[in-house]
Amino acid sequence: MAATSLPDRKAVPAKDQWDLSPLFATMAQWEFLFENIAERVSGYTQFKGKLHESFSVFIECLDFDHAMGRDLEKIYTYAHLRNDEDTRHQVHTAFYLRAMSLHARISDASSFIIPEIHSLDEDILADYLENPKIKDYRFYLEKILRNKPHTRSKEVEQVLAMESELFQSPRQIFSQLDNADFSFGTMTDNDGNRVELSHGNFISFLSKKERPLRKKTFKQYYKVYEAHKHGLAATLAASVKKDVFISRARKFDSCLTASLFQDKVDQSVYDNLISTVKDNLSPLFNYLEFRKKALNISGLHIYDTHVPLVNHVDFSMDYDEAVTTCIKALSPLGSEYTGILEEGLRGSWVDRYENRGKRSGAYSSGCYDSMPYILMNYRKDAINSLYTLAHEAGHSMHSYYSRKHQPYASHGYTIFVAEVASTLNETLLSRYLLEHTSDPRMKAYIINREIDNIRGTLFRQTMFAEFEKIIHERAENNEALTLKQFQNDYRGLLETYFGKTLVLDDELSLECLRIPHFYSGFYVYKYATGISAALSIAARIMDKGKPAVKDYLKFLKLGGSMYPLDELRIAGVDMNSPGPIVSAIDHFRNLVQELKGLWTTFG
């Protein structure tokens, strides 16, 4: 039969695309603002060397800089969303690159501001901070002053700002290869149709019941990474070396401490996550052993870990039904929350389906002056798509409340807390689905999905976090970051985190070369801490009801006005303690036992 190919972007109906016209109705409008910003860059010179002269000059400089940043975000948001619609579209790619270039120019021109703030006489600074007009910038300035030991001279700061565009190169190269250049061939589905294999349907194929199809999908997918492994390893090594350069330039002890510093997170939080998870791997081993028996296979491979264990429960849910399901599942968060969300998901927030050249995966984006935007590659045959929609909706509602309740200077929440909002939604979705079925097979199916979500988010992301720590420490110790070293380190972690429960195919050591988040150093641990915090908050909401919901919504409205661990305390969670991690693992253990109990009724 003829192969089913992905549609070109122009063939996607408008109702299934996000609407970017509120940002810019035409490209000409984008060009106009781009040129306007470019002309205003020279305005920074009027403040250079003068921040000590008076409060009026100081506050005018802050207002000017933040107005530039706000307009730049609008330019950048439009450009990167257009670019991600089809990464092969050269005009949109040029827009994106121009926005990045403009960002570098502004960073260069404004690089004097922070060093000058640091050099202000203490009495002058104290006087500025007492002025009521400084209110919106108070936490922004607190963070700047905390960074004083890691801020260099004006000349060095200017050089670092000039390098900012170059620092994006490893990520950009990987993205172009992974999303635009790589072709994974075609697969034959169960109906005999030839279907193009892609990032978007890879997990869908690995969820199929036919084991030979799963194995073929896995081997064919990784064959592309095998063919490009040397170049990908070099690109990842360049990204790590970039992190080392920046951390040393800013006088941090390590890349890890540099990354954690911005969120005021102690390294013990990172280390406790890894040690706590590694000390409690037995529930994971127990689950994988059960999965092997349930599938009736002698050796469990990674391509056997996505297929649902429950037979004869086929999942199919179109996008509109998925929206309805999410809204009902999130009803404990209140009618205001769900009303705003439903209008957005059914309206113009979401770019729904995969098309040729579209960026893989999913995300929530936007800027202070836009609606939240969600990129999806929704598939009605994949329950992961339903969960992904709920996940990104959590990000988007966090953005909505932050922008509505915080001034521009403090609206931007950190990634640390962002993953809490998204994974909380997934947790509520699981609970809703379980409550609305009496079929033991369906219950087992949903529990199996939640188990695999926690496995992928808590255990797997912690393994990723340890891998990042290892390779950055190697670079800091001036060890060579070779393909072989990457594979050896990753293979060692696979053996630790899966024990003897998984047959480790040779291709699996290449997984470390295909993870986009490794190009954002020390990002992935926030998924693991996020799901742990989310499970704690969800339990609190289900136990305490409205008071806990009130605390959670207050947390969402904080944006970036506090450090993340302080914000989480308002939501009722203390992440300085290993308690939430242990509780998440206990929840995982209980789910496995529940699944085993259900299995005895029909397995």
Q: Tell me which DSSP letter residue 373 carries.
A: E
DSSP H helical segments within 302-459, as ranges? 319-329, 335-346, 383-405, 415-435, 440-454
N-terminal to C-terminal alpha carbon distance within the chain: 36
Q: Tell me which DSSP letter residue 11 carries.
A: G
Specify the 3-state DSSP secondary structure of 185: coil
**Cα 356 to the center of its chain, rounded Å:** 22
Residue at 551: amino acid letter: D
Q: Tell me which long-range contacts 517-520 makes (C-beta under 8 A, separation of at least 24).
A: 517/464, 518/236, 518/239, 518/464, 518/467, 518/468, 519/170, 519/171, 519/174, 519/236, 519/239, 520/171
Q: What is the phi/psi pair of residue 349, to 5°?
A: -75, -30
Can 392 be counted among the known catalytic residues? yes
Query: Cα–Cα distance between 553 and 558 in angstroms, integer?
Result: 9
8 Å CB contact between 244 and 475 = yes
Q: Tell me which long-range contacts 212-216 makes (C-beta under 8 A, separation of at least 24).
A: 213/187, 214/303, 214/304, 214/306, 214/307, 215/301, 215/303, 216/187
Handedness of CA 524, 82, 360, 16 (dihedral sign): positive
Task: Tell me which residue has tokens 């836009």.
Answer: 370
8 Å CB contact between 326 and 390 = yes
Task: Locate 98 and state its tokens.
Answer: 């121009």
Query: Cα–Cα distance between 148 and 128 in angstroms, integer?
Result: 17
Specify the 3-state DSSP secondary structure of 170: helix
Task: Locate 93 and state its tokens.
Answer: 């790619």
Closest CA to 76 of 366, 359, 350: 366
Furthest-apart CA pair in the chain: how many Å?
78
Catalytic, out of 73, 165, 392, 466: 392
Closest CA to 93 of 178, 32, 180: 180
Which residues contact residue 582 at a Cβ distance below 8 angstroms, ignoring those fewer than 6 apart? 276, 280
DSSP count for the chain of H helices, then E strands? 26, 6
Closest CA to 466 of 493, 501, 503: 493
Task: Locate 269 and state its tokens.
Answer: 């939080």
R_g of the chain, CA atoms, integer Å: 24
Active site members: 392
